[in-house]
Amino acid sequence: MSILEIIKYPDPRLHEKSSPIEVFDDKLLQTTKDMGETMHSARGIGLAGVQVAIMKQILVIDISDMDEEESDSEERSKKLRSFLPENVETYINPKITKFVGETSYEEGCLSIPGVYGKVKRAESIVLEYNDPEGNLIEEEAEGLRAIVLQHEIDHLNGVLFTDRVGPMQKMMLLKKYKKLQQDKDEGL
């Protein structure tokens, strides 16, 4: 397996729409494994293909050791996470067919590291997707799982979590991100 490079904001690819996957083969299976390892290495709970410059409708998530009640996204992201490939869920060509209820959750993103913002999402969703063998699956997701899936599916459609907050909050988040990047570049 390999750790892939995660592209960062303001890379324009993050706002591009991903193409459907049509070939289900060993290469795709290897890609899902690499994405899972990359996500864990970065201490993430979700990763979309576009975030590793794969412009295809593929995403992986792993919320197996996350506490939904933890309120601080920054603390959640600092948790030491163990990489267990069997905990990584893979979704190919996912499409949400039903949104139910509303909740808000403080989200972060591996492509915009260091900033977090409250985003309104559906409380539960129904989605259709293919598994790595190409089988079509329909299922319901709720709670944190539904939130993470909505966040990652947004990536596949060229939407970042900062696009889901109000204009003032977006400006503040991106200003903070820019400052974090400047400090990083200056070695602070």
Burial 152-185 (b: 16+ CB within 10 A, else e): bbbbbeebbbbebbeeeebeebbeebeeebeeee
CA distance 178 to 188: 14
Q: Check whether 159 has a pLDDT greater than 90.
A: yes
Q: Is residue 170 part of a domain?
A: yes
Domain assignment present for 2: no
Full residue range of the structural domain in which residue 123 is found: 12-185
Average pLDDT over residues 2-25: 97
Residue 1 has pLDDT above 90, yes or no: no
Residue 158 lies in a domain: yes
Higher pLDDT among residues 5 and 65, named by residue = 5
What is the per-residue pLDDT for 63? Answer: 93
Give pLDDT, residue 71: 46
In the chain, the number of structural domains is 1
Q: What is the pLDDT of residue 141?
A: 98
Least confident of 7-11, 26-30, 33-37, 80-84: 80-84
Measured CA to CA, the distance from residue 111 to residue 9 in angstroms comes to 6
Both tokens of 28, joined, read 């795709």
The Cα–Cα gap between 10 and 178 comes to 10
Which pLDDT score is estimated for 80?
46
Give the pLDDT mean for 49-62: 98
| 73 assigned to some structural domain | yes
Torsion-angle region of 101 (φ positive above 0: left; ψ -120 to 50: alpha; else: beta): left
Residue 7 lies in a domain: no
Q: Round to whole Å and give the CA distance between 17 and 25.
A: 22
pLDDT recorded at residue 188: 62
- 25 inside domain: yes
- 144: domain CATH number? 3.90.45.10
- Mean pLDDT across the chain: 92
Is 1 within the bounds of a domain? Answer: no
| Mean predicted confidence (pLDDT) in 90-110 | 98
**Is residue 70 predicted with pLDDT exceeding 60?**
no
What are all long-range contacts of 68-74, with beta carbons under 8 Å and residues at least 24 apart?
Answer: 68/143, 68/144, 71/106, 72/106, 73/106, 73/107, 73/108, 73/116, 74/108, 74/116
3 assigned to some structural domain: no
Question: So what's the pLDDT on residue 186?
Answer: 83
Q: For residue 140, what are its two tokens?
A: 């319901």
Instruction: Look at residue 86 in the predicted model and tell me its pLDDT.
Output: 79
- Per-residue model confidence (pLDDT) at position 75: 56
Instruction: Provide the annotated active-site residues.
Output: 152
**Confidence check: pLDDT of 69 > 70:** no
**Among all chains, which residue has been given the structure tokens 């729409």?**
17
Percentage of the chain exceeding pLDDT 90: 84
The pLDDT of 20-26, averaged and rounded, is 97
With 0.85 as the threshold, say if the pTM is over it. yes
pLDDT at 73 over 80: no
